[in-house]
Amino acid sequence: MFAASQPPLLIISLTTCKISDVSTSLRVPTLSGKESVILELLVRDGELYGLQLVAASKRRLKRGTVYVTLGRMEDKGYVTSRLEDPSPESGGLPRRVYRPTALGRRVLMAWTDVVRRLMPEFGR
Amino acid sequence: MTPPPGDRLRAIAMRVCDGKTIERVIDPMVADLRIEHHNALTLGQLWKSRWIRFAGCLTFIQVLVICGCQRVLQRAEGWTADDHRALGRTIGISTVAIVAATLLLLAAPMRIVPVRAYTSDWWRMLAYLTPQAIPLALPVGFTLGILWGLRRRAVSRHVKTAVLTLAIICSLGSFGTMAWIRPAANQAFREFTFSRIARDRNAPTDTALPRGTNELTLAELRQRMDSPHAHHIDRNIAFTYHMVWALPWATLALALFALSINSWHIRSISLAVIGFSTYLGYYLVLVAGRTYALDGTLPAFVAAWLPNIVCAASSAALAKVSSTQTNVGLA
């Protein structure tokens, strides 16, 4: 039997398990530079295609990285996408159009606020 | 009728990317590319439509590179902090040992050449002599790096794969050096030294120096091997040709050997002794093989590859012994 001062091994392992679960589920969402640009544009304009994002970003986004970044943001739950009906112009491939999720909007707001608060006085 | 832009790119992507990447990244990119291309053609902008095709290719390559890097990083996520430390230590020690061995190997020929010949052009001498030293320094440096960097530890599969990949890269680099860079550097070194000595003795300096066996590239060695000449020279050239192929793989063979004994609980000094002994043993077998190849006892191919074969066979035997001991210990 365990001594009164020592917690049983099972309780220790369960506590450790809970702590590790909490630490992974409470991971603070972060935004990279490209992700914040994409979210800003989507929040401003609503729904956009990948190329429209590149055009609207004024060279802050590149063709080569925008689709990968959008895919990653979809995995994180910041944006969602839907497929349009395939048109003959796109050779039968449906275009994918992106819009921000509620989480994406909240993360952008929080991130903008954090950046504004942490930015030095001379940078504002 | 020309296929729509991005058709071939998509076909390539289907071969190399997973379904999710195709759906999330490649298909939206190709669909946008086609719409943009179509719009440009509708407006009669032929050159713009061509530019869009070209830019689409560049974008596609960039996307493939990014996806490839992401896949590598995802694989690297399985690494523990201990794995990172072990690999970092191995690379660090190997680098120091390779540099030290290279300097040591450079010191000997630098002492032989008259001081006057190189004091003003030491950088040139260094450039000529380094390609000779590197194929010899790489195996010993890498072996010592593995023995010390991974000593007395059970090495994970990740670290083993990374170390062997590095050994293969080093072997390929060494092969390139031995096959093409070293012959040119050797010849340049000989011509430079000869011209300096001839100038000091007021002798004509414009005499062309014929290339020796060590100054021949792989293709030239092959050419000489195929030409019918005296037997002894043929054997020497044949052995040199096969040695250029075999010797660079000493790094991999010795790395396998070092990985098979790294878990032994022995002192660091013993590890150093084992490392140097293995290296010396490798070259003794190579020298013995050369002797037998020149007198015709052994075929040149077998003699050149003999040290690698011996090293790999002993590594396999030692790895089996080590794993048996570990299993007994665990049981």
Does A21 have pLDDT greater than 50?
no
Predicted pLDDT at B267: 77
Predicted pLDDT at B296: 87
The tens place of each residue's pLDDT in chain B, 331 residues long, gives 567 788 888 888 888 788 888 888 888 989 988 998 999 989 988 888 888 888 888 888 888 888 877 776 666 667 777 888 888 899 999 999 999 999 998 887 776 665 555 556 777 888 888 999 999 999 999 999 998 888 877 788 888 888 998 999 999 999 999 999 999 999 988 888 888 778 777 777 677 788 888 889 888 888 888 876 655 557 888 999 999 999 999 999 999 999 888 777 777 788 788 888 888 999 999 999 999 998 889 999 999 999 999 999 999 888 887 766 655 444 3
Tell me if B253 sits within 8 A of B308, measured CB to CB: yes
Tell me if B68 sits within 8 A of B141, measured CB to CB: no
Determine the residue of chain B that is closest to A92 in CA distance: B31
Q: How far away is chain A from the Cα of B294, in angstroms, using its nearest Cα?
A: 58
Q: Tell me which residue of B158, B159, B211, B205 sits closest to B184, measured CA to CA.
A: B211
Predicted pLDDT at A106: 92
pLDDT digits (tens, 9 = 90+) for A35-85: 999 999 999 998 999 989 999 988 888 888 899 899 989 988 999 999 988
Q: Give the one of A51, A68, A71 whose C-beta lies nearest to B32's C-beta.
A: A51
User: Whose structure tokens read 């490798």?
Assistant: B282
The complex scores an ipTM of: 0.73
Cα separation of B238 and B251, whole Å?
22
Percent of chain A whose predicted confidence (pLDDT) is above 70: 73
Predicted pLDDT at B84: 82
Predicted pLDDT at A120: 67
Predicted pLDDT at B176: 92
Domains, chain A, with CATH or none: 31-122 (1.10.10.10)
Q: What is the mean pLDDT of residues A80-98?
A: 87
Pairing relation of β-strands A96-100 and A48-49? antiparallel
Q: What is the mean pLDDT of residues A99-121?
A: 86
Cα separation of B264 and B287, whole Å?
29
Q: Looking at the complex, does the CB of residue B62 fall below 8 Å from at least one CB of chain A?
A: yes
Predicted pLDDT at B240: 92
CB pairs A-B closer than 8 Å: 68
Predicted pLDDT at B331: 36
- Could you give the strand order of the β-sheet that contains A48-49, starting from the edge strand earlier in sequence? A48-49, A96-100, A79-83
Does A116 have pLDDT greater than 60?
yes
Predicted pLDDT at B325: 61
Q: Looking at the complex, does the CB of residue A77 fall below 8 Å from at least one CB of chain B?
A: no
Q: Tell me which residue of B279, B273, B227 sits closest to B257, measured CA to CA.
A: B279
Q: Looking at the complex, does the CB of residue B63 fall below 8 Å from at least one CB of chain A?
A: yes
Q: Tell me which residue of B186, B210, B42 sits closest to B128, measured CA to CA.
A: B186
CB < 8 Å to A63, chain B: 29, 55, 58-59, 62
Question: DSSP code of B227?
Answer: S
End-to-end CA distance of chain B: 70
